[in-house]
Amino acid sequence: MLPGRKKKGIFITGTDTGVGKTWITSRLAAILCRRGLNVGVWKPIQSGAMPGDPEADSFILKTIAGVDDAEHEISPFSFTAPLAPMMAAHLDGRALDVDTIMNSSENVFQRYDAVLVEGVGGLAVPLNNDEMIVDLAARLDYPVIVISRPGLGTINHTLLTLSYASQFGLSVLGVIFNGYEEEIPPAIDSMDEIGSAVAFQTSEMSNPFMVETISGTPVLGKVPRISDDVSLKEQINIIDCCVDVDKIVSEFESVIQ
């Protein structure tokens, strides 16, 4: 962490690319702002889209979160190729390292009481030969939220991510499962509650319980796949209902006091 900067933020990572990190981060920021918190967004690296492109993560974060920061401040390192940062930077004739990334953050961090920081891909995505996204997360030393898929295979991906975060001394606030196509699984406390219920014979229904039981990491939310036809206001309301936003608010309030 840069000298003299107060610890204030949450780092949002995923088990993979395409799990909805930007979608969740932008709408969580909007919810937190709606609740009266002075919250910014920062995704230091994006690849495959440049500022000004409506498909760029920087554009989505700025637009949905409603912040005034320029896109190049939200995402100071943008690369044209849709590749891991190390390769995308190389093809653009640039190089990345944690110190350089951290030094680009001050304009955003000075404006807000707290910031939602979104990583790129997962924690093991390389920045250079020696550093990965997890090194950036460790330097920030913020609590981590992991965004996961709900379907088959996510237990392995999520437990590996949680284990990797632990190896680097990261504190994980919780997991959000994003993208349920149909029913959202209810909260359950034991295997006995599952029994032989047909509903729990699908991985999407039982995965949150399995991850929480095995890892001891709380599930903060289970979010349905939301159609683009749904209004932004309703999208935000759905996230507010499906995610334990109170816990996230408490985490922010504890670091900005």
Nearest Cα to Cα of residue 239 among 123, 155, 145: 145
Residue 175 in contact with residue 146, Cβ under 8 Å?
Answer: yes
Q: Identify the CATH number of the domain in which residue 233 sits.
A: 3.40.50.300
Residue 247: CB partners within 8 Å, gap ≥ 6? Answer: 173, 174, 218, 220
86 within a domain of the structure (yes/no): yes
Residue 224 in contact with residue 180, Cβ under 8 Å?
Answer: yes
250 within a domain of the structure (yes/no): yes
Residue 128: how many CB atoms within 10 A of its CB? 15
43 tagged catalytic? yes
Expressed in percent and rounded to 5, the helix, strand and coil fractions of the chain are 45, 15, 40
What is the model's pLDDT at position 3? 41
2 within a domain of the structure (yes/no): no
3-state secondary structure 89-122: HHHCCCCCCHHHHHHCCHHHHCCCCEEEEECCCC
End-to-end alpha carbon distance in the chain:
18
Q: What is the mean pLDDT of residues 122-140?
A: 97
User: Using CA atoms, how far apart are residues 194 and 191, in angstroms rounded to an integer?
Assistant: 5
Query: Taking the complete model, does pTM exceed 0.85, yes or no?
Result: yes
What is the model's pLDDT at position 198? 52
200 within a domain of the structure (yes/no): yes
3 within a domain of the structure (yes/no): no
Q: 239 lies in which domain range?
A: 9-256
Residue 244 has pLDDT above 50, yes or no: yes
Supply the Cα-derived Rg of the chain in whole angstroms.
18
Domain count, the chain: 1
User: Using CA atoms, how far apart are residues 119 and 97, in angstroms rounded to an integer?
Assistant: 14
Residue 15 has pLDDT above 50, yes or no: yes
pLDDT per residue as tens digits for the range 31-69: 999 999 999 999 999 999 999 999 999 999 999 999 999
Question: By three-state DSSP, how is residue 201 classified?
Answer: helix
Main-chain phi, psi angles of 56, to 5 degrees: -70, 140
Residues above pLDDT 90, as percent of the chain: 81
Strands (E), the chain: 9-14, 39-42, 45-47, 77-79, 114-118, 144-148, 172-180, 219-224
48 within a domain of the structure (yes/no): yes
pLDDT per residue as tens digits for the range 143-196: 999 999 999 999 999 999 999 999 999 999 999 999 998 788 777 767 766 665
Q: Which of 8, 21, 43, 62 is catalytic?
A: 43
117 within a domain of the structure (yes/no): yes
Enter the tokens of residue 192: 């006995």
235 within a domain of the structure (yes/no): yes
pLDDT per residue as tens digits for the range 67-81: 999 999 999 999 999
